[in-house]
């Protein structure tokens, strides 16, 4: 399951909170590129973000990926079966 954080408020200790809820990734705004979004894995031993053409960046360790927009990021989450749909 993925958690959506559209406001992008930094949540201290989110990984521990997410683990209790079964969340393996979070989607939030990417402040390095205005209007873009990112997906961050809670634990790469459990889930590494796979590459897709929609990404503008994927860290070598696959714990974080950037996407041009909200829809591209959500589409990848749906493809990965982290969420059923968003529409």
Domains observed in the chain:
2-79 (3.30.505)
Q: Determine the Cα–Cα distance for residues 40 and 57; give it in Å rounded to an integer.
A: 12
Q: Tell which residue, 12, 59, 60, has the closest CA to residue 38.
A: 59
Residue 27's pLDDT band, with cuts at 50, 70 and 90, is very high
| Model confidence, pTM | 0.90
Q: Is 40 exposed, middle or buried (0-12, 13-18, 19+ CB in 10 A)?
A: buried
Residue 11's pLDDT band, with cuts at 50, 70 and 90, is confident
67: Cβ contacts below 8 Å, ≥ 6 apart? 30, 36, 37, 38, 39, 54, 55, 56, 73, 76
The per-residue pLDDT for 87 is 60
């Amino acid at each position: 399951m993925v958690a959506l954080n559209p406001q992008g408020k930094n949540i201290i200790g989110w990984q521990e909170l997410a683990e209790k809820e079964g969340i393996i990734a979070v989607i939030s705004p990417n402040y390095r590129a205005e209007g873009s979004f990112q997906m961050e894995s809670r634990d790469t031993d459990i889930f590494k973000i796979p590459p897709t053409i929609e990404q503008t960046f994927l860290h070598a360790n696959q714990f974080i990926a950037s996407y041009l927009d909200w829809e591209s990021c959500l589409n990848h989450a749906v493809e990965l079966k982290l969420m059923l749909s968003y529409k």
